[in-house]
Amino acid sequence: MCKKTDFDAKTAEFDRRLLEFFEEWRSFVEEHRNETRLESTDWLEDFCSYVWDSLVCFEKLGRLKGPLRP
């Protein structure tokens, strides 16, 4: 079992990576969407949807170590 401090450090690293990924994704989206669509963008919803769709695709391709749902 991992110690709480190990868990916190891993969580902080995961948070940092997720934030970096989100910022890269948002920059990409901003470059490819028109101004009108950007104004109505729900960044959190769109990002979560993008990640979920990607994970589902990875699952279908057998690229995940386990199923998304139990």
Q: How many CA atoms lie within 13 A of 64 on its CB side?
A: 12
Residue boundaries of the structural domains of the chain: 4-60
29-42 tens-digit pLDDT: 999 999 999 999 99
pTM as predicted: 0.76
- Position 2 scores a pLDDT of 56
Side-chain half-sphere exposure of 50, counting CA atoms within 13 A: 13
Q: For residues 32 and 26, what is the distance between their CA atoms, to the nearest angstrom?
A: 10
Q: Is the pLDDT score of 61 beyond 80?
A: yes
- Percentage helix, strand, coil, to 5, in the chain? 75, 0, 25
pLDDT tens digits for range 4-57: 566 687 888 999 999 999 999 999 999 999 999 999 999 999 999 999 999 999
